[in-house]
Structure 1
Amino acid sequence: MTTLDVDAVLAFVTIADLQSFTRAAEALGATQGAISVKLKRLEDRLGRRLIERTPRTVRLSAQGAVFLAGAREFLAAHDRAMAGLSATRRRFGLGIAAHVAGPEVPTLLARLNAHDPGLTIEVRMDNSRVLLDAFDRGELDAAIIRREDDQRGGDVLGPEHFGWFAAPQFDYRQGEPLRLAALSPTCGVRNIATRALDSAAIPWTEVFLGGTSSMVTAAVSAGLAVSAFSCRLAPPGTVEVSQRFGLPPLPSTEIVLFSTLTDAKSREALRTLAAAFREHRPNS
């Protein structure tokens, strides 16, 4: 019977997640040569090539794609078995910006829980600035936010692109003030949108201000106004209207993961979280 080596399977999954031997070695605190040896040992044990590697790309082979889900389950089962030896549960305070959270969040949390069942995950959702302040005060172990004016480092999870969205029946005549729906004046996306309109000398008026995100979405979906949204989180049924109405392009920003955790187990949890987020984002 073929038996699997945990370290070798972990090396394979990390390479698959990061699509890079170099980044996988950095994530696992090993050398690139050691990662390659572990992968080769696993492939020899299985009698299958799992990773296709060229000078420019690293990708799963057909057999690797089939094996990946089972490999994740194998590692999760191993972690659950090890966690069962400890009666102490660890707290993990995670902040996720409300304007970043999308349909991938349940998958992120499920992956994090499967990776380390010994974690008690406490999730807080708010705007980026509030979460970053809470992180600075030590109230959160990690925070996933949209980078706005803060230029500190962090692990970039991917770009965030914005567009102008409205209901298909929304009517706008050039020369008239653009009817804009937005959140509070402190909302980062609102500021991006209004600065772009001002720079393009397009008059605008806020017909819906200060509500919740669901209320803004309802106003746009009903055809009452236009609003700037992340392209991946635009309300269903709305359409991008930049070209149609001659609206200015909106600058992109980044989704960033902040954390000060340094112990090995917590860093592994963060790598799992980052990989799951990247995996479930559409190509940008």
Structure 2
Amino acid sequence: MTKRPLDLDAVEAFIRIVELGSFTLAAEAMRTTQAAVSLKLKRLEERLDCRLVERTPRSVQLSAQGAAFFDHARELLEVHRRALAVFAGARQRLTIGISDHVAGPELPALIARMNAQDPQLLIEIRIGSSGDLLQSYDRRELDTVIVRLHAGRSDGELLTEEKFGWFAAPSWQHRAHESLPLATMAEPCGVRAMAGQLLDAAGVPWTEIFVGGGVAAVAAAVMAGLGVAALAPRMLPFGAIDVGPKLGLPDLPRLPVLLHSRVKDNRSHDALAALSAAFRSVVRG
């Protein structure tokens, strides 16, 4: 007796669970419920007569059979999407602005994942400061922006909150009786303004020793031993240390990541749901 074909929605659920490491985030990316994602995976496992993932309270890991099936599953979905693209019309355009303090080293992989999900969606990315991107969004130059909280605004959907610290290179030493040397982004960076305000309130003298055009440049200055920067841990190479407690620097709050979007169509909305879930995954990780 011929077995029934694989359910492509169930295959996609399996891929999302593995890529995002969470049933909850997979459900968000697929715009459905966690229970529905769990049911899809259960039916796929029953169809294949094997366990694809091992669940624990804190993580989701591939089983041996799941690891063997994973690449084939992604190839199956890609072939399906290419087949549908033959009958699609002109590519739809989605312009996204992402704050440099949010983008991080994971961004290329996240955008590649979005492109693979829907090849007919033309995604354009602009990186900049939260303030500049919000101005472009208000002028309707961007469909969506993913930014840090900006003073004077209370709109936007909260995606996640991210821990920040005062990071320096392992070999860096603060010279007594000297102002704290800071590596920062240029104005109008909100993180730069927050860091300065907190240091001033705590009575910590500081001076900007490096002003970079982006987070990658600031991180490079930190690892070169020029000074200290207020950054999220994922923005720095392995080995950077949080010197805040040692130097008695003020605690940095967890900073929110907000989504502002005006897209209405399902295609763009699905892509943004996947991107939002992916950001939650990397920040949580």
Instruction: Tell me if TM exceeds 0.5.
Output: yes
Q: Is the 8 A contact 1:167 1:238 kept in 2?
A: yes
Matches within 5 A, 1:78-89: 78-89=80-91
CA deviation vs aligned residue, 1:190-211 (integer Å, no higher than 9, x gap)? 12211221222212233445x4
* CA–CA distance in structure 2, aligned partners of residues 262 and 19 of structure 1: 26
Partner of 1:206: 208
Q: CA deviation at 1:185?
A: 4.2
Q: Check 1:15–1:108 CA distance in 2 against 1; reply closer, same or farther (3 A cut).
A: closer
**Match status 1:19 vs 2:22:** yes
Q: CA deviation at 1:222?
A: 4.1
CA deviation vs aligned residue, 1:213-270 (integer Å, no higher than 9, x gap)? 3664554444343222222113666433223322222112122333222322222212
Q: Check 1:223–1:96 CA distance in 2 against 1; reply closer, same or farther (3 A cut).
A: same
* CA–CA distance in structure 1, aligned partners of residues 178 and 36 of structure 2: 64
**Match status 1:152 vs 2:155:** yes
CA RMSD of aligned residues (A): 3.2
**Match status 1:245 vs 2:261:** no
Q: CA deviation at 1:280?
A: 4.2
TM-score, structure 1 length as denominator? 0.81
Q: CA deviation at 1:281?
A: 4.5
Corresponding letter in the other structure for 1:255: V
The DSSP-based 3-state class of the residue aligned with 2:227 is coil
Q: For structure 2, list consecutive stretches of 5 or more residues without a partner in the other structure.
A: none
Partner of 2:111: 109
Partner of 1:71: 73
Partner of 1:178: 180
* CA–CA distance in structure 2, aligned partners of residues 177 and 31 of structure 1: 52
The DSSP-based 3-state class of the residue aligned with 1:232 is helix
Q: For structure 1, list consecutive stretches of 5 or more residues without a partner in the other structure.
A: none
The DSSP-based 3-state class of the residue aligned with 1:100 is helix
* CA–CA distance in structure 2, aligned partners of residues 29 and 273 of structure 1: 12
Q: Check 1:83–1:35 CA distance in 2 against 1; reply closer, same or farther (3 A cut).
A: same
Task: Single out whichever of 76-85 and 260-269 deviates more from structure 2.
Answer: 260-269
Partner of 2:98: 96
Task: Single out whichever of 265-274 and 171-180 deviates more from structure 2.
Answer: 171-180
**Match status 1:165 vs 2:163:** no
Partner of 2:260: 258
Q: Check 1:80–1:259 CA distance in 2 against 1; reply closer, same or farther (3 A cut).
A: farther
TM-score, structure 2 length as denominator? 0.81
* CA–CA distance in structure 1, aligned partners of residues 128 and 148 of structure 2: 11
